[in-house]
Amino acid sequence: MRVQQINEHIYRILLAWGNAYVLKEGDRVALIDTGLQRDRDDLLRALNEIGVETRQVSAVFLTHGHTDHAGNAALFAKQGAKLYAHTLEIPHLRPPILPYSYDMQKLRRPFTSLAFTIGERRFPVERYPDIERVEEGSLIEAPGGSLHVIATHGHSPGHVSYWYQPHDILFSGDAILTIIPIRLKQELSLPMRLFSTNWAQAIQSAKYLSRTTPAMMLPGHGNPLIEDAPERLEKWGETL
C-alpha cells in the first residue's frame, strides 16, 4: 500500500526507506519530509493518486536534513513551496554544502563519518538557498491546522518533531520509530545509533516525547501508532 489516508487532512506515503506525509485542506497542501531523490517518481505518483499536483505544495516541513527525508525538498521549493527546518539543520540543506559526515569527523567518529559519506554520495540532497528557520516552540500555519515545533535533537543536530494542532497528532520524525532498524520488527524504537549525531541527546528526546499524550504518532519510519498511543509511548519510555 503506497498511500494510506490517516484522517480527513493527513495521508501517509510509504517510500523506499520511510514515510512522507501530506497535509491537505481543500487546495492547500503541505508535506512533512520528502524521501530519497530516488523516491521521486513514487512520491509524485502518490501525490497524483490523492489529487495533488506538484505546484500545489506550498510548504515542506522537514524533521531533519538526512537524505531519506530531504531528498526531494528542493524540487518543491523550485515550484514555489517554502522549506522549513531547524536552524541547526540549515547548514546541511543549503549551499555551500556542509555534509553530516564532516560533523562526524569533528566528533572523531570514523565509522559514522564513512557511513554518511557513502550515503551522501549515493543519495545526495539537492541544496536550496532559501529556508525558513524554525525553533523550539515555533507555531506554523499548515493545511488543516497548525504545527507546533518540538526540538528533538540528537539523531541529527537540529532534528525536530511536529505536534499537529488541533488534532493532537505527533509527527515524530526519527526521534521515535515504530520499526526496529535492520531487524525490521514493528515495535517502538530509537533510530540507529550509527547515524545519530548525539546518542545521549537522542535518548533524552525520545524520553521527552514518550511523556506526551498524542491521539496518534506518525513516525518517519514504520507504521502509524494509533491504538493506545499515550500508554504505549509512556511504557516504552520507561525502558530507556
Report d(CA 89, CA 28) in Å as an integer.
Answer: 26
**CA 178, chain centre distance (Å):** 13
Beta bridge partners of 22: 11, 31
- Is 206 in contact with 176 (CB distance < 8 Å)? yes
Structural domain harbouring 85: 3-237
Mean pLDDT of 26-42: 97
Q: What is the per-residue pLDDT across 141-154, written as a single tens digit (0 to 9) for each? A: 999 999 999 999 99
Q: What is the per-residue pLDDT across 164-179, written as a single tens digit (0 to 9) for each? A: 998 999 999 999 999 9
pTM assigned to the model:
0.96
Please give the angle made by the CA atoms of 201, 92 and 133, to the nearest 5 degrees.
80
Report d(CA 157, CA 217) in Å as an integer.
Answer: 22
Split into its structural domains, the chain has a count of 1
Q: What is the per-residue pLDDT across 168-219, written as a single tens digit (0 to 9) for each? A: 999 999 999 999 998 889 999 999 999 999 999 999 999 999 999 999 999 9
- CATH number of the domain to which 99 belongs: 3.60.15.10
* Alpha-carbon separation of residue 87 from 84, 143, 223, 236, 238 (angstroms): 9, 23, 28, 30, 30
Q: What is the per-residue pLDDT across 81-102, written as a single tens digit (0 to 9) for each? A: 999 999 999 999 999 878 898 7
The answer, yes or no, to whether residue 159 has pLDDT greater than 90, is yes
